[in-house]
Amino acid sequence: MNFSEKLLAIKKSHLYRSRKVSESAQDTQIIINGKSLINFCSNDYLSLANHALVKESFKQGVDKFGVGSGASHLVSGHSRAHHDLEEALADYTQQERALLFSTGYSANLGVFSALRDELDWVLQDKLNHASLIDANQLIGLPLQRYLHNNIESLNKKISKQSGQGMIVTDNIFSMDGDQANIDDLQKISNFSNAILMQDDAHGFGVFKPNIPKNSIYMATLGKAAGTMGAFVAGNADFIEFLIQKSRPYIYTTAISPAICTATLKSLDLIKQGEQKAKLLANIDFFRNFSEAIGLPISKSSSAIQPLIIGNSEKALKISQQLFEQGFYVSAIRPPTVPKGTERLRITLNANHSQSQIEQLLACIKNAL
């Protein structure tokens, strides 16, 4: 197999991905390759990744628990810090229990692997995150997808199913920033005797969790919470079932206990609401200003604000222009998004200033 030829083909299609090395803490201002940039592509929505109180809590966690957890949760890796965080997350989401995972990807894989022998069908939103799609394929059920946020399409597909099923959706969609109608999906789940599962990676901490009774809720801690890891929340029996059956949970070393102490502080700051209020104000300002100067930003009330370009080469060119002008904005291309919807994915953080937002939008307007 000639990987050189394959890589060349990727480059010719303007789909080649490369890593940029950050030389500073994650923040609204970031240094990459020695260049200072205003960061508009971080998922650190509440600007907690470099928050002084979160960092201090992490240091205290290291002093008490060391760095690594040493083993999986079921061996010797489940510390008091892990346990306290799970209880705090259950309380915050108003669920009976919560279970920590190392990443959102492994959490989604963990849920599906545990339900491998329990499901006859799964229906997923067309724009669900890749981890949900991969998890579906892992359990060997056909990948069936309904049209994005389309209840009629979902109902048509459900009418053809039999046995125990699950409806799966992102809450905030990671590339479009729009939101699923959880209440409508729960009504359909109840009518069809299906389980509802939502991935709230991009909504947790920013919007109040909407978790219907007996549904499955997954969220990540590496975005708005500013740390790392993920959790699944639900009723006590389901969480205990995951502990017994979820292979990614059983066979993965637990995340650092110090990360848990830092996340507990993040959760306190989320509850206080100051960072959330700043972010929501920035979202309103961004949308009003972009509308005022005629930028066709897609409809989104979340921190994710996409500008559809429709061409990989052009999206890359604009992203590079912005980089040279001091703004870090990612160009998102297939297979992450469908061909023809290539875009700039602009993400807003609580600590962005209105001046930074104005400057960015003016530069994008000029580049277009």
Q: What is the pLDDT of residue 223?
A: 98
Q: Which tokens is 267 given?
A: 């959760």
**Arithmetic mean of pLDDT over the chain:** 96
> b/e map of 132-170 (b: 16 or more CB within 10 Å)?
beebbeebebeeebbebbeeebbeebbeeeeeebbbbbb
β-strand partners of 122:
166
Confidence category of residue 139, pLDDT binned at 50, 70, 90: confident
Asked if the model's pLDDT at residue 350 lies above 90, the reply is yes
β-strand partners of 35:
32
Q: Say which range, 15-19, 66-70, 80-84, has the weakest mean pLDDT.
A: 15-19
Q: Which tokens is 169 given?
A: 């959706």
CA 247/CA 32 separation, integer angstroms: 37
Q: Say which range, 11-25, 192-206, 303-317, 333-347, has the weakest mean pLDDT.
A: 11-25
Asked if the model's pLDDT at residue 171 lies above 90, the reply is yes
Asked if the model's pLDDT at residue 28 lies above 90, the reply is yes
Asked if the model's pLDDT at residue 82 lies above 90, the reply is yes
Asked if the model's pLDDT at residue 355 lies above 90, the reply is yes
Instruction: Give the mean pLDDT of 95-108.
Output: 98
Q: What is the pLDDT of residue 323?
A: 96
Asked if the model's pLDDT at residue 333 lies above 90, the reply is yes
Instruction: Give the mean pLDDT of 116-125.
Output: 96
8 A C-beta contact, residue 173 and residue 127: yes
Question: CB atoms < 10 A from the CB of 16, how many?
Answer: 14
Asked if the model's pLDDT at residue 142 lies above 90, the reply is no
Q: What is the pLDDT of residue 81?
A: 98
Confidence category of residue 188, pLDDT binned at 50, 70, 90: very high
Q: What is the pLDDT of residue 18?
A: 86
Confidence category of residue 266, pLDDT binned at 50, 70, 90: very high
pTM of the model: 0.95
Q: What is the pLDDT of residue 259?
A: 98
Asked if the model's pLDDT at residue 33 lies above 90, the reply is no
Task: For 211-262, write each residue's pLDDT tens digit.
Answer: 999 999 999 999 999 999 999 999 999 999 999 999 999 999 999 999 999 9
Specify the pairing of strand 195-199 against strand 230-234.
unpaired
Instruction: Give the mean pLDDT of 17-26.
Output: 89
8 A C-beta contact, residue 45 and residue 347: yes
